[in-house]
């Protein structure tokens, strides 16, 4: 694939954070759909993201690197590779589970209809590779058959994984009241001695009875922990707990949280996430400059039909020229407005 000469000049990820043009692709902290992940990383990398954020899983990291290696073969810049972990229970690190043999044969299967990842296809149960823990199916089952299972790594496993996969950056999902658990994760990360470009901290207000001032105190405590270990922060402010929503309302939550935290947050770039989508940029005034944005479920959903069509043709999207052109146009529609702000 030749480089697109109409594309904006590519800045490196640090320059993008400074300029406010950083865009991160979130592949999903528990998404293990390896074929899709390689294509997602290639596609959004070609569209110009600064970073791809994937599950802390060596097979997933290998798949992501296939996509990133392909970019380099095409003479395109390679985004940072980030892996996500958590210091406590978190919806991003769960998967749905049910026993399909219990399901009544005449069930209209609402679980299957609500799943945005096509992870439920009876008669099989939940496809663990595709489920990213959004939780939509849990209340959808009229019999209450669907439960959630925790997929977090413990701190020893986090340190071992980091030493093995050596990512450019790590994101730690945290929540109010978990500063001691956060410290433990940071100690485990630092103990692996892997140099990290940035340590992203993902945190939000929704679901917590907390004022912005109290959230900023939580972030300052995380900042002290990062400083002790010489790690450079990147604050990921989650307007909504999960990415993947499409309406302007969810985008507003992310922008509002950024506005509230901007005057209170510790040093380091502030990036929008959680509910971000194509509407997000239009909600910012011309003099408002967050460091950038992360796109998750929405970015995946718009291109997944093409990735699946490529798979049905027995190939990958990056090796199917017509599908690639269509997918790249969709990815660029999300990414480019941030690059030219």
CA 98 – CA 85 distance, rounded (Å): 25
Considering the complex, what minimum distance in angstroms separates the CB of residue 92 from ligand SF4?
Answer: 11
Q: According to the binding rule CB under 6 A, does residue 121 interact with ligand SF4?
A: no
CA 341 – CA 329 distance, rounded (Å): 18
Q: Is 34 exposed, middle or buried (0-12, 13-18, 19+ CB in 10 A)?
A: middle
CA distances from 141 to 110, 122, 131 (A): 7, 13, 16
Considering the complex, what minimum distance in angstroms separates the CB of residue 214 from ligand SF4?
Answer: 30
Binding segment for ligand SF4 (CB under 6 A), chosen from 108-116, 220-228, 245-253, 282-290, is 108-116
Q: According to the binding rule CB under 6 A, does residue 103 interact with ligand SF4?
A: yes
Reduced to 3 states, what is the DSSP secondary structure of residue 224?
Answer: helix
Q: Compute, in degrees rounded to 10, the torsion defined by CA atoms 292, 316, 58, 45.
A: -20
Q: According to the binding rule CB under 6 A, does residue 217 interact with ligand SF4?
A: no
CB 94 within 8 A of CB 149: yes
Q: According to the binding rule CB under 6 A, does residue 85 interact with ligand SF4?
A: no
Considering the complex, what minimum distance in angstroms separates the CB of residue 107 from ligand SF4?
Answer: 3
Q: According to the binding rule CB under 6 A, does residue 220 interact with ligand SF4?
A: no
Binding segment for ligand SF4 (CB under 6 A), chosen from 57-65, 96-104, 161-169, 206-214, is 96-104
Residue 154's CB is within 10 A of a number of other CB atoms, namely 12
Binding segment for ligand SF4 (CB under 6 A), chosen from 64-72, 95-103, 177-185, 237-245, is 95-103
CB 329 within 8 A of CB 87: no
Q: According to the binding rule CB under 6 A, does residue 29 interact with ligand SF4?
A: no
Which residues are 60's β-sheet partners? Answer: none
Among residues 47, 117, 201, 307, the one that binds ligand SF4 under rule CB under 6 A:
117
Q: According to the binding rule CB under 6 A, does residue 199 interact with ligand SF4?
A: no
What is the total residue count of the chain? 341
Residue 170's CB is within 10 A of a number of other CB atoms, namely 26
Residues 129-158 that bind ligand SF4 (CB under 6 A): 131-137, 140-141, 143, 145-146
Considering the complex, what minimum distance in angstroms separates the CB of residue 238 from ligand SF4?
Answer: 17
**Residues found near ligand SF4 in the complex (CB under 6 A):** 96, 98, 103, 107, 109-111, 114-115, 117, 119-120, 122, 126, 131-137, 140-141, 143, 145-146
């Amino acid at each position: 694939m030749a480089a697109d000469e109409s594309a904006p000049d590519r800045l490196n990820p640090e320059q993008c954070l400074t300029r406010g043009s950083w865009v991160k692709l979130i592949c999903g902290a528990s998404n293990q759909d390896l074929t899709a992940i390689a294509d997602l990383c290639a596609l959004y990398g070609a569209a110009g993201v600064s970073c791809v954020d994937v599950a802390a899983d060596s097979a997933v990291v290998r798949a992501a690197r296939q996509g990133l290696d392909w970019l380099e073969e095409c003479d395109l810049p390679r985004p940072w590779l980030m892996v996500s972990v958590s210091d406590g229970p978190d919806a991003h690190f769960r998967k749905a589970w049910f026993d399909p043999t219990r399901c009544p044969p005449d069930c209209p299967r609402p679980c299957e209809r609500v799943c945005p990842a096509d992870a439920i296809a009876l008669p099989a149960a939940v496809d663990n590779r595709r489920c990213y823990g959004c939780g939509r199916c849990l209340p959808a089952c009229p019999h209450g058959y669907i439960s959630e299972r925790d997929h977090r790594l413990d701190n020893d496993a986090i340190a071992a994984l980091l030493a093995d996969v050596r990512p450019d950056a790590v994101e730690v999902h945290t929540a109010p009241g978990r500063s001691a658990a956060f410290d433990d994760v940071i100690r485990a990360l630092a103990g692996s001695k892997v140099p990290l470009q940035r340590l992203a901290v993902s945190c939000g207000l929704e679901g917590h009875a907390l004022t912005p001032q109290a959230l900023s105190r939580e972030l300052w405590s995380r900042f002290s922990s990062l400083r002790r270990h010489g790690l450079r922060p990147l604050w990921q402010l989650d307007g909504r707990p999960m990415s993947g929503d499409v309406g302007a309302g969810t985008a507003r939550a992310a922008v509002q949280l950024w506005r509230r935290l901007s005057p209170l947050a510790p040093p380091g770039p502030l990036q929008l996430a959680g509910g971000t989508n194509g509407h997000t940029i239009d909600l910012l005034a011309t003099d408002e400059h967050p460091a950038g944005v992360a796109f998750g479920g929405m970015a995946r959903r718009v291109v997944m039909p093409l990735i699946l069509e490529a798979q049905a043709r027995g190939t990958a999207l990056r090796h199917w020229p017509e599908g690639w052109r269509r997918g790249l146009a969709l990815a660029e529609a999300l990414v480019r407005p941030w690059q030219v702000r």
